[in-house]
Structure 1
Amino acid sequence: MAELLRARRTVLLDFDGPICAVFSSITDLQVATELVAIAGAEHLPQSVRAANDPFDVLRHAADHRDGESLVAIEARFRDLECAAVDTADPTPGAEEVLRALSARKYRVGVVTNNSAAAADRYLRRLGLRSTVGVIVGRPGTRVDLLKPSPFLLTTALRQLSVQPDDALFVGDSMSDVVAGHSAGVSCVALANKSGKAERFASLQPESTITSMLELLDALAV
């Protein structure tokens, strides 16, 4: 891990997981349920009506709803994300990692399927916004551009004016690793739940950690 960091001057991080738990006091299920109501439960298959993940509802809306309905669903999702981050639980070690990266003059970006507005709001609440150079979030209703597409990462790299081989991406999902590798970026997989490390292994991330504190330790080497 320390060698990966020494060889690069740019670190990109996913938001929900590596930095905080977006839906803590407001849960994923509560958000998904509200989005289902906006979409009209009677129009949705049972698998979507019972979804615990609001992204499942958003993706279904993108595939099957007219533009006006999709815009309304995405806008409400964004509002709920912004409300959720006011009480989101910080990921242990994340604040220290961001401050350490900033102190060591790394270029830092947040790359998230959540809205950029939510990530910005959270970072400002904790006094961390100045540690992050760019935030690249969900591009409105363009669900097809969310990770595992590399679009968000390549956008962040372009905004930071860096090449993929100078960047490291920290994410906690399979789609993060797929997106990172598709963008030509080395990946650190955050296996923050049981069984994740085994699932990540098939994607061959450059490193796997179980806590952001491991990244903090590597920065201190």
Structure 2
Amino acid sequence: MGVSTALQLTGDDSSSALGIDKSVDIIGHIRSLPTQEDRTAAITRIRNIEREAMVKQVPQPGLLELMDYLQSKALKRALCTRNFETPVNHLLTTHLPTHEFLPIITRDTPDILPKPDPAGILHIAKEWGTKPEDLIMVGDSLDDMTAGHLAGAATILLLNDHNRALKEHEHTHMWVKRLDDIISILEDGVADPAENPKDDDDEWVNEQ
């Protein structure tokens, strides 16, 4: 079993910089721009925002505890993100220097469509020599849940103030308030995604 983690560093600031509504997919918008000059300018604005954001990065609550647990169990970890490579590397070298993530899939990774396409998750499974069904996709957006679900992986939603409605989405198999809550899920055994624990009175997904 392995854990694929989604990493999101940008959000409303990126949408504002491009003059689009936050509901519009940023990557799709950039690709739809009419000229290469327009696309390059938009990418530059996003890169600048991500560089500014990365110096303010702090680990999500429970991240270090979860990573230490996974490492102690020799469980593989990968990253699948729509961010650029530079802020991702900054996060790993600054906050997780002793942890290995392979592969790391970013917006810069060639020939892999971004989430919600499942290509990134399928690529991770192939690199690990395992089935997608043996992976867990952890993230905080619908794109994360959909990518994992379409790949056949189990999905875990990390709750925040902006995504609570996704608890009930069919692509969300489980949810947690903190990343280290995932430890108890792994200790108890991950349910088949077809047996959605949201429908049961299960401690994995109950609000405390």
RMSD, aligned CA: 2.8
Partner of 2:195: none
Query: 1:184 offset after TM fit, Å?
Result: 1.5
- Any idea what the Cα deviations from partners look like across 1:152-201, whole Å, max 9, x if unmatched? 222222333322022111111112111111112111122222661x4332
Query: 1:102 offset after TM fit, Å?
Result: 1.4
User: 2 CA distance for matches of 1:130 and 1:84?
Assistant: 22
TM-score, L = length of structure 1:
0.72
Q: Is the 8 A contact 2:13 2:49 kept in 1?
A: no
Which of 190, 202, 209 is the matching residue for 2:176?
209
Q: Is the 8 A contact 1:70 1:141 kept in 2?
A: no
User: 2 CA distance for matches of 1:203 and 1:75?
Assistant: 36
- Any idea what the Cα deviations from partners look like across 1:134-163, whole Å, max 9, x if unmatched? 211114798x92211112222222333322
Which of 7, 19, 36 is the matching residue for 1:15?
7
Q: What is the aligned-residue identity percentage?
A: 21
Partner of 2:140: 172
Partner of 2:55: 86
Partner of 1:43: none
Query: 1:212 offset after TM fit, Å?
Result: 1.2
- Any idea what the Cα deviations from partners look like across 1:18-76, whole Å, max 9, x if unmatched? xxxx35xxxx444444444xxxxxxxxxxx2xx457x7455323213312321332244
User: 2 CA distance for matches of 1:79 and 1:195?
Assistant: 26
Gap change, CA 1:170 and 1:30, over 3 Å in 2: closer
Gap change, CA 1:71 and 1:158, over 3 Å in 2: farther
Partner of 2:192: none
Partner of 1:148: 116
SS at 1:108 equivalent: strand
SS at 1:89 equivalent: coil
Q: How many residues align?
A: 188
Q: What are the ranges of 5 or more consecutive residues in structure 1 without an aligned counterpart?
A: 1-8, 17-21, 37-47
